[in-house]
């Protein structure tokens, strides 16, 4: 029986052996955030873990238990932290989590870490925590490096055109829309309720943030674009091409280190 790539499913001895053999550790990072009436609150966790699992299979890595909570949803990228169900961390907490996990996996003996992000707002705070930890480890003379990425950065223009047929609304409003819904239809169709999709126009938001948030600027769905044209076939295409591009890039980077 092949060994699971999921750290949470391994016994401690098997895990330690894999780390000693040089397995990179991939840490999926998501959020608990509303994704409209048709997707579950843990969509970002599910998708980052799925991408991490496929990557681990290619590079011989291990997938750590995911970071479930993320930084505060923002109105122009996630509908806003004011919407019920969204449960968020503040910046200092997420920075501390990223720093602590980097130091912990280094303590286990891991030398190569990959933080695979699935929630837009997380990125800079993950960067800060990882940078603090790798700088500290370097001062100690420990050879530990980390890669930070968001999976949607590996969706190429041809795939976007094939799925959206010229109607791509832009990444800034692709929250609860075609991409996430299609991926979920392919990976976990039982968790998607297409009949509840609210087919509303893409959000028209200012090019600046307003605080306190003006709730009326967020569409009633909580989504920033419509998922009406989402499909399982599009999800399969997205998963295959995105994970392939991601694996090629990370394999090349690890080989160069």
Active site (annotated) includes residue 174:
no
> What are 26's strand-pairing partners?
63, 114
Peptide bond into 164 cis (omega under 30): no
- Specify whether 121 is catalytic: yes
Helix %, strand %, coil % for the chain, to 5? 50, 10, 40
Helix (H, G, I), strand (E, B), or coil: what is residue 115? strand
Looking at 38, 174, 175, 186, which residue is catalytic?
175
Q: What is the 8-class DSSP label of residue 141? A: T
Q: Is the peptide bond before 24 cis (omega within 30 degrees of 0)?
A: no
Told to judge if 9 belongs to the known catalytic residues of this protein, a careful annotator would answer no
Q: Among residues 9, 17, 38, 121, which one is catalytic?
A: 121
Clarify whether 119 is annotated catalytic: yes
Choice among 38, 174, 180, 186 that is catalytic: 180
Enumerate residues 6+ apart whose C-beta is below 8 A from 97: 67, 89, 129
Q: Residues 35, 38, 174, 186: which is the catalytic one?
A: 35
Query: Which is the catalytic residue, given 33, 38, 174, 186?
Result: 33
Per annotation, catalytic residue among 38, 44, 174, 186: 44
Please identify which of the residues 38, 119, 174, 186 carries the catalytic annotation: 119
Judge whether 104 counts as a catalytic residue.
Answer: no
Active site residues: 33, 35, 44, 119, 121, 175, 180
């Amino acid at each position: 029986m092949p060994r699971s790539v999921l750290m949470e499913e391994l016994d401690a001895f098997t895990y330690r052996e894999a780390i000693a053999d040089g397995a990179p550790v991939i840490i999926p990072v998501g959020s608990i955030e509303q994704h409209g009436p048709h997707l579950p609150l843990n969509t970002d966790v599910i998708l980052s873990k799925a991408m991490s699992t496929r990557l681990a299979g290619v590079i011989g890595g291990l997938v750590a238990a995911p970071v479930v909570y993320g930084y505060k949803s923002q109105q122009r990228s996630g509908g806003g932290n004011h919407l019920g169900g969204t449960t968020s961390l503040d910046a200092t907490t997420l920075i501390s989590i990223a720093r602590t996990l980097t130091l912990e996996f280094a303590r286990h003996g891991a030398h190569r870490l990959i933080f695979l992000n699935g929630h837009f707002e997380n990125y800079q705070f993950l960067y800060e925590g990882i940078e603090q930890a790798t700088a500290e480890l370097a001062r100690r003379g420990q050879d530990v490096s980390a890669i930070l990425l968001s999976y949607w950065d590996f969706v190429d223009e041809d795939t976007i055109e094939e799925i959206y047929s010229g109607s791509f609304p832009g990444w800034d409003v692709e929250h609860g829309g075609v991409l996430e819904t299609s991926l979920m239809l392919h990976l976990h169709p039982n968790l998607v309720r297409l009949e509840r999709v609210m087919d509303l126009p893409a959000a028209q938001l200012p090019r600046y943030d307003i605080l306190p948030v003006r709730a009326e600027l967020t569409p009633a769905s909580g989504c920033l674009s419509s998922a009406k044209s989402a499909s399982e076939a599009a999800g399969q295409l997205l998963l295959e091409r995105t994970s392939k591009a991601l694996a090629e890039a990370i394999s090349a980077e690890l080989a160069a280190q």
